[in-house]
Structure 1
C-alpha cells in the first residue's frame, strides 16, 4: 500500500474540535457501531466461523460501510462483527499502530498465559485490500506477539471497516487508554513520526484530530527527543513516569547527557522522588544526593497489615532485597515479650539485644 493511501484516513473530518474534547470512553462507545458482537460467538459446524458459511453473505449491513470493505466481506462471506480464526502469518503490524514499546517480560508472561488458557479476547484487524489474505493489526499487537512466542499458528480476530490512518489509530489508541496500557512514550514516538512524515501539518492539527490540547502534543514532542534506551527504562516503570515526570527527565537529559539521566531515573524509582523534587534537581536547586534526604525514607516494596483479634496493631514492610521493618503498637506487655522471644529464636544465637 502506498504512503499516500495510508494518509487517506487522516483526511477524514475530525470528530472533535479543540473546544469539544471527547473522552476515550466516548469514542469507545462510538466503536460499538464498528465492532458489533451480535454474531460474535456463533461457531460453524465445520469449526470455522459461521462468517464463512452464511446462507446470505450479502445480508443487510450498515449503509455507511466502505465499498472496499463491502466487496471484501461479500467475497469472503463474512458477517460484520464475527469472530474468525486467521493464520498468524497473515497478520502484520499497522503503520499506524498506537504502541511502539513492547516489554519482553510482559510478552513472555502473556505467552505463558495464552499457552495455558488460550486466547480469550479477539484482536481487531483491517484487510490489506491490495494484498489479498493479509491483514493489518488495528488493536492487539501485544497478543499477536505473545501468540507467536507461544508457538500458536492462528489468532481470533474481528475484521473491522476502517481505513489505515487516523481512524484505525484512534481505535487502537482509545482501547489502550481504556485498558490503561498506553504510555506517554508510545505517544511521543508515534506522534513525532506522524509530524515528520507530514500526515499532519502542525501540532495544532494533530491535537484537533486527536481531541487533545496542543500543549499535550508539545510535551510529547519534547519527550520524543530522548534516546530510546532512556525511554525504555521509564517504560518499564510507566506508573512512575507520567508526562510531567518524563518532561523533567527530558530537560535533565538535555543538560547532563544519557549516563547521568539513567542514574537519575534509578534514583527516582529507588527514592520515590516527586516531580517537584526532580524539577528542583533540573533547576540546580538540589543534586541527587540532597534529593534523597528530602525524599525521606525509601518507599517500601510491600506492606502487610497485622491484626490481632480483628484489630489492626501495625504493619510489616519490605524494602529492596534486604530490609524488613516491623512496627507494632497497642500490644500487652505479655504479647510484646512473646513476639520478641519468637523473633530472637528465628534469628538464632547471633542475635543480640540492644
Structure 2
C-alpha cells in the first residue's frame, strides 16, 4: 500500500528517545492543518448513515491528495468527501480499532465527559478510518473516550473527520505518540497491548517492539512484566496514575508473583493510605519491611466507594466511604487558601443540624 499523507510521517525520521514528542505534534498538526485549510464543502444533510454521495466520476471527484492510498481515494470519490471535512456519522457505525493504544477507560472520566456532552454537545470531531472490508463502518483512530461518552449520553450521531491511515502498527504508533503528548498513556495500557502484540507475532521480541516505538528495551520489559498482573488488580491502580507509574507498578507485579491477589490488593490499599514511596514498596517486596509494619489493625477494611477529586482537571486525591458511618478524605497539592477554605466548609457542615 502506498503510504498515505498521514502515514508518511512515520518514514520521515525515527523516534530516537522516549521523551521526544515532536513527531506526535507534527502528525497532529498535519491533521489539524487539513481541517483549517479545507474548502467550504457542503456537509451531509440530515442524519444520514453515510456522507452524501456524488456521481463517482473522475470529474465529480474532489481534488487528489498527494500520496493518498488507493482505498481512501476510491472511498472519498464515492462519497464526495474532501480531506479534513467534518461530517456526521451514526454512532453505531463506529468501532474500536484493534490497534488502539488505550485499553483502560475510567468509568468516572467517561461519565463526567458524557454529562458535558449532554449539555454542550460534541465540540471536537473524532478521527476515523473507513473499514474498506465492511462498507459503512469505521475504526476509531483518535477519540475513543469521546465515543464511549457519547454512547453513555445516549447520542446517536458523532462528528468525525475521515483520515487516510491503514489499520495496523502505523495507526498504533500515531495514537501512541499522541497519547504520550497528552500524558494519557499509562503503563497498564502498554502492558495489555504490548503483550498482545508479542503474543500475536506482530513483533518477534521485546527488542523489536522497543526499536519500533523508539524506546529503551528496559521500558518494554517493565510493561511486559506488569502484563502478568490480573486486570482486576490493574484497575485498582489505573485510577491513580499519580501514584502508580511504571516503577511502582513493576514492584506491585513482583509482590503479586510472590504473595498472590488478595495480599496484593491489601498492599495497594496501603500504598494509597500511607502514601508509600516506590523505595518503601521495594523493601516490602524484598522482605526488608513487613507489609503491615505500621500500628494499624490487621486485615484493613476495604472501602465501599471511592470518588476521585480533581481541581482544574488534575487529580489531587480521593474521598472514600467505609461501611455506614466512615468517610476518609485525602488531598494533596492544595494551596494554603484552598485548604483553609475547605476546612472551614467541612467545619460548618458538621455544625449544621
TM-aligned CA distance change 1:253 to 1:190, over 3 Å: same
Structure 1 residue runs without a partner (length 5+): 1-9, 308-314, 319-323, 326-342, 349-354
On the 8 A contact 2:18/2:215 being kept in 1, the answer is yes
CA offsets per residue over residues 170-220 of structure 1, 9 Å max, x none?
222222222222111011000100010001111111111111111111000
Equivalent of residue 150 in structure 1, options 149, 153, 157: 153
On the 8 A contact 1:91/1:136 being kept in 2, the answer is yes
Distance 1:171 1:48 in 2: 32
Distance 2:287 2:182 in 1: 38
Residue 107 (structure 1) aligned with residue 116 (structure 2):
no
* 4+ runs deviating over 4 angstroms: 12-22, 39-43, 45-49, 51-57
Q: SS at the partner of 1:155?
A: strand
| TM-aligned CA deviation for residue 101 of structure 1 | 1.0
TM-aligned CA distance change 1:90 to 1:283, over 3 Å: same
| TM-aligned CA deviation for residue 265 of structure 1 | 0.6
Distance 2:295 2:142 in 1: 41
Distance 1:41 1:62 in 2: 13
Equivalent of residue 270 in structure 1, options 259, 273, 295: 273
Distance 1:179 1:19 in 2: 19
Distance 1:25 1:187 in 2: 20
Distance 1:224 1:38 in 2: 41
On the 8 A contact 1:22/1:211 being kept in 2, the answer is no
**CA RMSD, aligned part only?**
3.3
Distance 2:182 2:267 in 1: 29
Q: Which has the higher contact order (CA 8 A, sep 6+)?
A: 1
TM-score (norm 1): 0.76
Alignment of structure 1 residues 36-75 onto 2, 5 Å:
36-39=34-37, 42=40, 44=42, 47=45, 52=52, 58-75=61-78
2:139 maps to which residue?
Answer: 136
Structure 2 residue runs without a partner (length 5+): 1-6, 297-327
On the 8 A contact 1:185/1:235 being kept in 2, the answer is yes
Residue 29 (structure 1) aligned with residue 59 (structure 2):
no
1:305 maps to which residue?
Answer: 336
| TM-aligned CA deviation for residue 32 of structure 1 | 3.0
2:290 maps to which residue?
Answer: 287
TM-aligned CA distance change 1:156 to 1:18, over 3 Å: closer
| TM-aligned CA deviation for residue 61 of structure 1 | 3.6
TM-score (norm 2): 0.76
